[in-house]
Structure 1
Amino acid sequence: MEILEAYDLTGSYRAAAELAGVDHHTVKRYVLLRGKGDPTKPKLRPKMIDEFMPKIEELVERSGGRIGADKVHEKITAMGFAGTDRTTRRAVAAAKASYRAGHRRVFRPWIPEPGLWLQWDWGEGPRIAGRRTWLWCSWLAWSRFRVVIPVLDKTLPTIASCMDATLRRIGGAPTYALTDNERTVTADHIARIPVRNPQIIEIGHHYGLTIRTCVPADPQSKGGSEATVRIAKRDLVPTDVNLRAAYRDFTELEDACAAFTDEVNSKVHRAIRRRPAEALAEEVLRLHRLPDRPFTAALGTTRKVAGDATISVDSVRYSVPHQLAGQTVWARFHGDELVVTAVGEGGAVEAARHRRSTPGNPSIKDEHYPPREGKDGDRTPRATSAGEAAFLALGPGAASWLIEAAAAGARRMRPKMAEAVALAKLHGPAEVDRALGTAAIAGRFAENDLISILDHHIGRNLAEPTRASEDHSLQPGTSAWSRFGIAPEGDEH
């Protein structure tokens, strides 16, 4: 612009060149280009691939922008193109950018209302002992409150249990629940109209929910739950990125999911600039009241838990956690497994899972029962009199002596216990307890055995035991063999 301004002022190429500080040929070129667009832009030169661009655009259009540059290069090379694949990649990138600009999908912003929408989706969880797990990921749209529950299958009873646990966690039921078109929710599509599974409709009616599904193969229509799945898998599934260690059992995965749920709901959400747990306190006022009992029709048949924490299914006894003794649970078969569901304050949860067994072969799991008291089934000694309490107060050695002496059928145990209490006043409880422990290990429960062991300990002055070293060996000497074969004096035979 300064060159053109100088030319308009002087009307001479050389004078304008002196004012603008450029060559007069440059002034002439810009003056001649005036009125033909921006003279600073380089003029596009014809390229070798220009005659093939219509074919490239056709291929991009036919493939919906999915065709790769290598396939395009292969096709145009067969048509006579002699350029490199680098030139083809640039041309294909330009054609795809033009295609996307003309076919860009524009969404109307969705502004959720409180109390209306709940979304859920599934994410593949970590493998535990070689077994596949799944993550139920639900998302309350307005408050962004998330709930993640680990499960072992995606059957309809599991959906009913997870739905009940989720709704009781958030404290109410919204109007709609949105999810994918899986067989447990959508049985078929007729003229692109989803046909609902009758059982999922029953579950929705029980909680006052209307079940909706997204457009098939269109995850953009439920992006909230998709993001919940992505975040849950990123933090809960062990990878080289998050450096999370493998889970030892399913209980550890349940604890990790519960901790993850509390963590994400206590952080400030980027979209709403507040914590989801705080927003839930407002949204819960718009939610519907939950029924007192969960939906149990899909959980199986009822069973009463016996006093030994077992239930009977098809004449086979299966164990359940001992805390459920006397309660009613629901049992159903899923493939070759028996799934036991219990209903507590937090809703329906899976209580136990067994491999299908046969009559006469009960399936009992040790983790369903509390740990045994004592060793090998023996009870821990508990005092019932002042004398027994004084003896057991000496220490663990006294308790060991009592258990071993009773098992060996020792005589006059009570007088010996009173004698040990009396000796403790003279030599101290620690010395007597140590002697009792030694007697229990050695199996010495006769008269005066305790006094003998106690005298031996005191005589040794509790010295450290002799140990082998570089300077001293525990091997006995050979001096006793030096006179072997020599007759004593006066004995010639």
Structure 2
Amino acid sequence: MIEPDVIRQIRELTARGWGSKRIAAELGVARNTVRRYLRGGAAAEAQVRPARRCLDEDGRAEAKQLFTGLAEGNAVVVAGELVSRGITVSPRTVQRVVADLRRGQRAADVASVRFETDPGYQMQIDFGQKQVRIAGTFVRVHLLVAVLSHSRRLFVKAFLSERQDDWREGIAEAFRHFGGVPRTVLGDNARSLVLGRERETGTVTFHPAYLAFCRDWDVTPRACGPYRARTKGKTESGVKYVKRNGLAGREFESFAALEAHLVRWMAEADQRIHGTTHEVPLVRFERDERHALRPLPSRPLPVREQRLRRRVANDALVDVDTVRYSVPHRLVRDTVDVVVGEREVRIYRGTELVARHERSFEPHARVTDPRHFDGLWRRPAAPTLPEAPLSALEAMGRSLSDYAAAIGEVVS
């Protein structure tokens, strides 16, 4: 848009014989703008910029009330409601009116109050993922991180998956690492832990297996609110700390080497000065929290009894979290049940136990039993030795043993 005076000058200069390029340079407008107004002739009149529409005080108050109420923070809905009430206004105008409200709402969402717990009261848990180079290959490693909320002592365990059994195994290992059980465990709403939540009452339905595990260890499960991950901010920070400091860009020769590194790194992390408490986590734990933890159960139930259904591949192997275990080759293309325990893997066809292996933690490893492949390959025939030439006596039908038997002597 240009002002009417500029249009008048364009026409006057054109009447004097000036070209569009010279006019544009003289008036400081685009050459195409000059051409457009010249093509329009008398019909090309100055465009009038519409005045910015504003709401009066009553309209502003009504817009703010709708924004915080019926519209639930949506300026477009507010504009539509005002138009239906006879107030002509654009969504952009509403956005300017409610800008302060929206800014305050965002600040309230981000702001949080740090919640400190008593010693031994709470442990926070979470899973994180990171691509780690193991034996020259990048592997997605799942890291369970547990943090004691009072002392900030940290525990981390690496897995190749993130299933229910991995959660339970990792939490039990954390209890053993800390030497006791807190009163509550705060996690997120992962499907492995939480089946659902009532929106109105906030009641959480935990997975039966997870609930049975918590009863066995005498700990109360808790789940943070939906989209409120900062409720368990201590372990959220712990996951970042493990990935950025504990692992960073390090490479490992094997999964066992990764686990050994994490054990050493946890000891180092316990000796650092924590940024919030300004104390060493291990010192704070020994002074305040160790005696507040409940004792470990004397005979806990198995925390891992994962049952998977797999189809046997053509090479007589079944895959469990990138690790392949052998079965008898007669079961190729059959469906089997794989029971993964804490230290052992058992494979069943129906009720028949067909294979038993020690559980491997190395990604892409092959665990085989040579007996499972018996009959699959032909064994090479034993080499036949050439017959020894006959002696002169044997050629006559006699041997030295015949003469020795006759005279009762032993030929040496």
Q: TM-score, normalised by structure 1?
A: 0.45
Q: Does 1:193 align with 2:207?
A: no
Secondary structure of 1:125's counterpart equals: strand
Match of 2:241 among 231, 255, 259: 231
Distance 1:126 1:72 in 2: 46
Of structures 1 and 2, the one scoring higher in RCO (CA 8 A, sep 6+) is 2
Give the total of aligned pairs: 275
Question: SS of the counterpart of 1:360?
Answer: helix
Q: 1:136 aligns with which of 125, 133, 144?
A: 144
One-letter amino acid of the structure 1 residue matched with residue 225 of structure 2 = V
Give ranges in structure 2 of 5+ residues lacking alignment. 1-50, 308-324, 330-341, 348-355, 375-412
1:340–1:351 Cα contact (<8 Å) kept:
no
Residue 118 of structure 2 contacts residue 150 of structure 2 at CA under 8 Å; is this kept in 1? yes
Aligned to 2:158: 150
Q: CA contact under 8 A between 2:184 and 2:221: conserved in structure 1?
A: yes
Answering whether residue 224 of structure 2 is matched by residue 214 of structure 1, we say: yes
Extract unaligned runs of 5+ from structure 1. Answer: 1-45, 239-243, 302-311, 317-327, 343-349, 363-493
- Matched with 2:286 is 281
Looking at structure 1, the residues matched to 117 and 171 of structure 2 have their Cα atoms a distance apart, in angstroms, of 21
Check 1:220–1:120 CA distance in 2 against 1; reply closer, same or farther (3 A cut). Answer: same
The answer to whether the aligner puts 1:121 opposite 2:126 as a matched pair is: yes
CA drift of 1:121 comes to: 0.6
- In structure 1, the residue matched to 2:186 is 178
| Match 1:360 to one of 372, 377, 381 | 372
Cα displacement (A) at 1:115: 1.1
Give the structure-2-normalised TM-score. Answer: 0.52
- The match for 1:269 is 274
Q: How is 1:391-430 mapped onto 2 (pairs within 5 angstroms)?
A: none
Partner Cα separation in structure 1 for residue 328 and residue 169 of structure 2: 26
The change in CA–CA distance for 1:151 and 1:104 in structure 2 (over 3 A counts) is: closer
Match of 1:331 in 2: 345
Question: Deviations along 1:291-343, whole A, 9 cap, x unmatched?
Answer: 35554252459xxxxxxxxxx97548xxxxxxxxxxx932267xxxx99559x
Q: 1:99 to 1:279 in 2, by over 3 A?
A: closer
Look up the match of 1:296: 302
Residue 194 (structure 1) shift: 1.7
Q: How does 1:382-397 map to 2 (within 5 A)?
A: none
Aligned residue type for 1:263: E
SS at match of 1:177: strand
Distance 1:296 1:175 in 2: 21
In structure 2, what is the Cα distance between the partners aligned to 1:246 and 1:92?
A: 52
Give a deviation string over 1:9-46, Cα, whole Å, max 9, x none. xxxxxxxxxxxxxxxxxxxxxxxxxxxxxxxxxxxxx9
Using the alignment, how far apart are the partners of 1:216 and 1:95 within structure 2?
Answer: 24
Q: Is the CA contact 1:300–1:330 (under 8 Å) kept in the aligned structure 2? A: no
| 1:117 Cα deviation after fit | 0.8
Partners of 1:267 and 1:212 in 2: how far apart?
29
What is the deviation of 1:156?
Answer: 2.0
Q: Percent identity?
A: 20
Q: Is the 8 A contact 1:339 1:353 kept in 2?
A: no
SS state of the match for residue 143, structure 2?
Answer: strand
Q: CA deviation at 1:111?
A: 3.0
C-alpha displacement at 1:210, in angstroms? 1.8
Q: What is the alpha-carbon distance in structure 2 between the residues aligned to residue 151 and residue 181 of structure 1?
A: 19
Q: How many Å separate the matches in 1 of 2:149 and 2:185?
A: 10
- The farther-off stretch of 275-284 and 179-188 is 179-188
CA contact (8 A) 2:357 2:367 kept: no
Output the CA distance in 2 between the equivalents of 1:220 and 1:339: 42
